[in-house]
Chains A and B, each alone.
Chain A
Amino acid sequence: MNTEIIEISCDPVAVQKAWVASMTDEDDENDVVPFPVASDFWPHGEVSKAYGVFNEERGNSRRSVFIIDTEGVIRWSNVYTDSLPASGELLHEIEQL
């Protein structure tokens, strides 16, 4: 399945760059984070709000995943309050499309 990943938080771009750099070896061009880490910093949380996952109390995004099909329609979504997304579950859902 031809699938792209976009990871988003309300941190500024500079933080996303630093975070990615902290996870990779800058001397190894093959050591990359293979998806964009996007900044929803300004207007603050605009995209998070559009998806209904902005935490107004904390000013950040709720941990969540949306699977969007080839036509741009959300086919699966989940908000994680005390757990992390499970890759196996996401792959299973993607395979259903």
Chain B
Amino acid sequence: MALQPGTQAPDFTLNTHSGSITLSDLRGKVVVVGFHPASFTGG
């Protein structure tokens, strides 16, 4: 089941198309994290 509002967002560091990113480095900003099933599949 997806994490629900009120839960601390698990921190992560991931490689991206343009370097790596760490969620906790963005503290102080609102972050919209989106997941999608597969790239190149129309969404």
* A binding-site residues for B, Cβ under 8 Å: 1-11, 13, 15-20, 22, 33, 36-40, 46-48, 50-53, 55, 58, 60-79, 84-85, 90, 94, 97
Contacts and interface: CB of A to CB of B under 8 A. Distances in A.
Nearest to B14: A38
A46 B11 CA distance: 11
A8 B14 contact: yes
Contacts of B39: 9, 11, 15-16, 19, 37
Q: Kindly state the interface size class of chain B when it binds its partner.
A: 35 or more
Decide if the interface of chain A is mainly helix, strand, loop or mixed.
Answer: mixed
Contacts of A68: 9, 23, 30-33
A74 B6 contact: yes
Contacts, number: 166
Contact of B40 (A22, A47, A63, A64): A22
SS of B interface (majority): loop
A36 to B, nearest CB: 4
Interface of B: 1-12, 14-19, 21, 23-24, 26-40, 43
A62 B30 contact: no
Contacts of B6: 73-74
B16 A36 contact: yes
